[in-house]
Chain A
């Protein structure tokens, strides 16, 4: 039993890479991506990787989003993460809120489209403090190393998700503050997270709705330690 657990532990976790994300401490962040406070924060450039196609009929995607710029501010018991990446088209929408699920009377709210997907991004953090430099699996953690995902979708807003392995991602219903702007072919988004301790690993993901990105079809970074 002991050896089995040990095996699961090793395959379920990635050894820490010596990659870091800088952070500015002791100031209050700003949800506004253009806020002046961000100008004084050092940017880290995280290389993005593309997940491979899942099916033979899925066209491979060009790696046109090669990196994401990350700025982090820690202070006042919170952590603000500002992500910026190039995307020539903004896939976003303001969706009606459904009210009538079944047996409605009168006009129903219509679905505008069936085949569009929206731009998005996420910051993934270990749900528990890491030990021995062993980070959770990049594939949404694993049973022994669950993760928290702070997810932003350009149509539905921000929501905290939990996962403990591939295919286990679950919406918690908990919202968190986030603000996004798209201008001149670039997304800039600030996510307001609870306090994230220095040394905590984080990973970033970006979805390009224009090429039907969703779920595992995305760009992702490896783990980087927050300084």
Chain B
């Protein structure tokens, strides 16, 4: 286990699905050769097929301590990459701009489709990055020890010199957040913007987020917002906890989506989306988390002060991010919680 652990909390109640984080990451890290189809950060509509397609049904992670590698997603599972006939449209008299090929799948292919519940449509957005797990299945699966977890901050990285592109890591990752660059013959993934963190700046996806949904800091730093949300107030959960990798990206679940005629009623009293679906994503504990969030909301609605809601508003960068200076990483005394 690393001495400290960087963590991110994402408030799904605030995600607009605008993909600004996706583009910030794409321009920052994955616009090189062989990386065309990679989105280290993606935002997918839930319920939905996800990116890569049906990643949540593929497998991976651990089962009673044993690695359960899955199939490797195909390029079509990730979604095609294509160009438009701009030249023909602009100068050749084409009536419209069209893709060069028939498009059958793209990331967030089923955008805003969602599902029906009692005749009403519902959906929400799920932004995803590498979970920088405490027990990374990718690291356990790599026969070359090319994947390592940084001792100082828990960020999981792939040594591009040691990687031979065997892709056991892709098969092992239950979140399918590792990508293969066929031209380089290397596996690549989200690096939690460690070069930015080392300069005191926050991750590009978090910094660009117009909805201010992301919180970044050390999970073991008692002064960090991520620590308060995850460890103290316990209002954020990791995805698919049963996969056994102990993810370090946490989500505040959608707990009170608006609905005509149900003002004041919680999702537990008058479900706007099926609780079963949230339990599927976050485990049984999501029910307790929603109760806590509802209680905090009631406090605020009755004129009280809720620290949880004040934090989740994320008024400014000082509230949302606590980026440690390198010397801090040594000095921070981890908080102790049962």
* Chain A residues close to B by CB (< 8 Å): 54-58, 95-104, 107-116, 156, 166-167, 169, 212, 214-216
**How far is it, in angstroms, between the C-alpha of A156 and the C-alpha of B74 when the chains are bound?**
21
A114, B36: Cβ atoms closer than 8 Å: no
B247 on interface, CB distance cutoff 8 Å: no
Q: Which residues of A contact B184 (CB under 8 A)?
A: 98
Q: Which residues of A contact B68 (CB under 8 A)?
A: 55-57
Q: Which residues of A contact B37 (CB under 8 A)?
A: 110-111, 114
| Of the residues B31, B78, B185, contact of A104 by C-beta under 8 Å | B31
A99, B33: Cβ atoms closer than 8 Å: yes
A-B pairs, 10 with minimum CB distance: A98-B33, A111-B182, A115-B72, A109-B33, A98-B183, A111-B34, A110-B36, A101-B32, A114-B180, A215-B166
The B interface, classified by DSSP as helix, strand, loop or mixed, is loop
What is the total of A-B residue contacts with beta carbons within 8 Å? 101
| Of the residues A100, A214, A216, contact of B32 by C-beta under 8 Å | A100
A216, B31: Cβ atoms closer than 8 Å: no
With A57-B69, A98-B33, A104-B33 as contacts: A113 and B182 at CB distance below 8 Å: yes
B81 on interface, CB distance cutoff 8 Å: yes
Q: Which residues of B contact A215 (CB under 8 A)?
A: 143-144, 164, 166
With A104-B31, A104-B32 as contacts: A97 and B183 at CB distance below 8 Å: yes
Can you list, as one digit per residue, whether each of B29-50 has a CB less than 8 Å from chain A (1) or not (0)?
Answer: 1011111110000000000000
Q: Which residue in chain B gives the minimum CB-CB distance to A217?
A: B166
B69, A114: Cβ atoms closer than 8 Å: no
B199 on interface, CB distance cutoff 8 Å: no
**How far is it, in angstroms, between the C-alpha of A95 and the C-alpha of B81 when the chains are bound?**
17
| Of the residues B75, B143, B182, contact of A167 by C-beta under 8 Å | B143
**How far is it, in angstroms, between the C-alpha of A178 and the C-alpha of B217 when the chains are bound?**
52
Expressed in whole angstroms, the minimum distance between the Cβ of A185 and any Cβ of chain B is 26
B283 on interface, CB distance cutoff 8 Å: no
Q: Which of A55, A110, A167, A216 has the most CB of B within 10 A?
A: A110
| Of the residues A55, A100, A114, A166, contact of B182 by C-beta under 8 Å | A114
**How far is it, in angstroms, between the C-alpha of A56 and the C-alpha of B300 when the chains are bound?**
52
Q: Which residues of B contact A112 (CB under 8 A)?
A: 75, 182
A167, B36: Cβ atoms closer than 8 Å: no
Q: Which residues of A contact B325 (CB under 8 A)?
A: none
**How far is it, in angstroms, between the C-alpha of A181 and the C-alpha of B185 when the chains are bound?**
23
A111, B73: Cβ atoms closer than 8 Å: no
Can you list, as one digit per residue, whether each of B49-92 has a CB less than 8 Å from chain A (1) or not (0)?
Answer: 00000000001000000111111111100100101000000000
**How far is it, in angstroms, between the C-alpha of A215 and the C-alpha of B187 when the chains are bound?**
14
CB proximity to A under 8 Å, residues B219-242: none
**How far is it, in angstroms, between the C-alpha of A214 and the C-alpha of B142 when the chains are bound?**
12
Q: Which residue in chain A gives the minimum CB-CB distance to B59?
A: A57
A56, B143: Cβ atoms closer than 8 Å: no
Q: Which of A58, A109, A111 has the most CB of B within 10 A?
A: A111
Expressed in whole angstroms, the minimum distance between the Cβ of B190 and any Cβ of chain A is 15
Q: Which residue in chain B gives the minimum CB-CB distance to A171?
A: B164
B6 on interface, CB distance cutoff 8 Å: no
**How far is it, in angstroms, between the C-alpha of A212 and the C-alpha of B71 when the chains are bound?**
10
Q: Which residues of B contact A166 (CB under 8 A)?
A: 143
**How far is it, in angstroms, between the C-alpha of A98 and the C-alpha of B34 when the chains are bound?**
7
Q: Which residues of B contact A104 (CB under 8 A)?
A: 31-33
